[in-house]
């Protein structure tokens, strides 16, 4: 099975079968998987860092207003809310020679690649919307399954730290792709789409064929029901409040990320090249904080981190109102790149102690609630911007106040957990790392 020296006992949430113990202690295999998964994710990230804003800007130029774009985003987000549960549940119970998750990469990638290739040649608005939705639905299938590889292939105690190399590389490549991808689009409108499609094909083949998933086999003859994943994830109903808080904590960053390109174009009068070159610097700023944030998330109470997160986002919002040129946009982009990764502190609380057999149910239920929230945000903020004379500032402020409601839900969850914590472990109950003992192998952290 490879090198099993320096064996470390698995977390209480990890399966303790001999096969799983050997898998998690095979360090060469772990780092090999991490490298391949990173290559796969980086390839897709680089492509859509460039292609997504080009698509949004092109659709806006062809006549799609903020309301229409928001409605399309809402349709996709709400579809994702169901698809993420279905495909994550299906992948939990998939048994194939490629593994549990990888088959869904091969299912979704062809649709996405074809859509990327044909998108710049479509000028009919209804057909453009159809191609975009088709690609978005295929992306939903991938998003419901492939991110689970990061959780499956790494010991839980190393999740945040294992993401540090990918975060650093994402930041560097994000800077380069944003900065030079927009230059490429200025030189030839179709070049980013064509090169992006090639990168997607190559990274899909390499990642899909070489990743070795853990030896988890959980076949089932039960048919999927819309509530199947929710039933598993919310066996302890207190988790619902936690998942609501996670959904709300994404509001501000989501709205900023969704509308910053049109904000720069329609409010600041900046070209896409100027905007891309300004936003690109945020990627380099993220490099500086990747390791510290990974350490913080693994070691500091998420309750303290999320309080700090919401307070610092208030500072970010203040500076958003000070944006008047490329220089101030660079500063705000860098500040956001430093702050937004702290969101992971709340997200990791959902699945840190979940059984590997049903991890898809936990992540998909969480993603379902996030998708419902994103859908409401996309449509609501789109129409709010459009019906207030293209006033993006109103949307940014509204999103921030929704963000603050996440603290109410999070500390409501903490209150319930403290109330029900075993009297013999008060120091753990107050530590901020409280997780409900829902399933075998799960305990108070």
Per DSSP, the three-state class of 284 is helix
pLDDT score for 7: 41
Main-chain phi, psi angles of 277, to 5 degrees: -70, -30
pLDDT score for 34: 83
HSE-CB for 134 with a 13 A CA cutoff: 16
- pLDDT bracket for residue 133 (50, 70, 90): very high
Task: Give 25-54 pLDDT, tens digit per residue.
Answer: 777 888 888 888 888 888 998 999 999 999
Contact 255, 356 (CB under 8 A): no
Structure tokens that stand for 382 in this block: 């789109």
Cβ-Cβ contacts under 8 Å for 426 (sequence gap 6 or more): none
Q: 152 pLDDT exceeds 80? A: no
pLDDT score for 288: 79
Q: What CATH number does the domain located at 23-215+234-427 have?
A: 1.20.1250.20
Give the mean pLDDT of 143-150. 81
- pLDDT bracket for residue 8 (50, 70, 90): very low
Give the mean pLDDT of 266-284. 89
70 vs 82, higher pLDDT: 70
Q: 350 pLDDT exceeds 90? A: no
Measured between alpha carbons, how far is 146 from 75 in angstroms, rounded to an integer?
Answer: 22
pLDDT score for 419: 81
- Range scoring the smallest mean pLDDT among 245-259, 295-309, 351-365, 403-417: 351-365
Structure tokens that stand for 138 in this block: 């295929």
Give the mean pLDDT of 312-330. 94
Q: 261 pLDDT exceeds 60? A: yes
- pLDDT bracket for residue 204 (50, 70, 90): very high
pLDDT score for 163: 67
Percent of the chain residues topping a pLDDT of 70: 84
151 vs 162, higher pLDDT: 151
Measured between alpha carbons, how far is 244 from 249 in angstroms, rounded to an integer?
Answer: 9
Task: Using alpha carbons, list the distances in angstroms from residue 136 to 48, 377, 382, 426.
Answer: 12, 17, 18, 46
CB atoms within 10 A of CB 417: 19
Distance between terminal CA atoms of the chain?
A: 30
Cβ-Cβ contacts under 8 Å for 354 (sequence gap 6 or more): 13, 362, 439, 442
pLDDT score for 194: 94
Q: 434 pLDDT exceeds 50? A: no
Give the mean pLDDT of 167-182. 83
- pLDDT bracket for residue 178 (50, 70, 90): confident
Give the mean pLDDT of 69-73. 91
Q: 107 pLDDT exceeds 80? A: yes
Measured between alpha carbons, how far is 74 from 68 in angstroms, rounded to an integer?
Answer: 10
pLDDT score for 385: 94
Ranges of beta strands (E only) in 63-192 are none
Contact 428, 421 (CB under 8 A): yes
* Cα dihedral 281/206/17/439 (nearest 10): 50
């Amino acid at each position: 099975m490879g090198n099993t020296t320096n064996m470390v006992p698995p977390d209480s949430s990890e399966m303790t079968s001999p096969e799983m113990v050997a898998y998690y202690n095979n360090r060469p295999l772990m780092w090999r998987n991490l490298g391949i998964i990173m290559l796969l994710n980086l390839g897709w990230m680089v492509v859509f860092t460039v292609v997504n804003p080009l698509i949004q800007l092109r659709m806006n130029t062809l006549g799609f207003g903020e309301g229409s774009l928001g409605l399309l985003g809402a349709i996709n987000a709400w579809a994702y809310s169901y698809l993420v549960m279905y495909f994550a549940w299906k992948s939990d119970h998939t048994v194939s020679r490629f593994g549990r998750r990888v088959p869904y990469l091969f299912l979704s990638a062809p649709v996405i690649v074809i859509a990327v290739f044909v998108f710049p040649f479509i000028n009919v608005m209804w057909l453009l919307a159809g191609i975009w939705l088709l690609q978005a639905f295929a992306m939903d299938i991938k998003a419901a399954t492939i991110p689970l590889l990061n959780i499956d292939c790494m010991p839980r105690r190393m999740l945040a730290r294992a993401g540090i190399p990918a975060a650093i590389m994402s930041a560097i490549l994000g800077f380069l792709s944003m900065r030079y991808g927009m230059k490429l689009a200025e030189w030839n409108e179709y070049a980013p789409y064509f090169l992006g499609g090639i990168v997607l094909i190559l990274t899909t083949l390499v990642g899909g064929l070489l990743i070795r998933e853990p030896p988890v086999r959980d076949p089932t003859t039960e048919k999927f029901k819309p509530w199947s994943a929710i039933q598993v994830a919310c066996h302890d109903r207190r988790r619902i409040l936690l998942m609501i808080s996670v959904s709300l904590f994404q509001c501000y960053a989501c709205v900023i990320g969704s509308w910053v390109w049109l904000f720069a174009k329609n409010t600041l009068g900046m070209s896409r090249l100027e905007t891309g070159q300004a936003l690109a610097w945020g990627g380099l700023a993220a490099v500086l904080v990747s390791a510290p944030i990974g350490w913080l998330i693994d070691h500091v109470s998420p309750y303290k981190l999320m309080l700090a997160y919401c307070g610092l986002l208030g500072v970010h919002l203040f500076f958003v109102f000070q944006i008047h040129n490329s220089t101030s946009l660079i500063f705000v982009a860098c500040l956001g790149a430093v702050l937004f990764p702290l969101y992971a502190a709340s997200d990791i609380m959902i699945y840190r102690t979940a059984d590997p057999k049903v991890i898809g149910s936990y992540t998909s239920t969480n993603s379902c609630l996030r998708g419902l929230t994103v859908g409401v945000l996309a449509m609501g903020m789109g129409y709010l911007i459009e019906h207030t004379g293209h006033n993006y500032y109103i949307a940014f402020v509204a999103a921030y106040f929704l963000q603050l409601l996440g603290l109410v839900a999070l500390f409501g969850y903490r209150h319930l957990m403290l109330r029900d914590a075993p009297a013999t472990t008060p120091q753990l109950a107050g530590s901020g790392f409280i997780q409900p003992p829902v399933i075998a192998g799960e305990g108070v952290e």
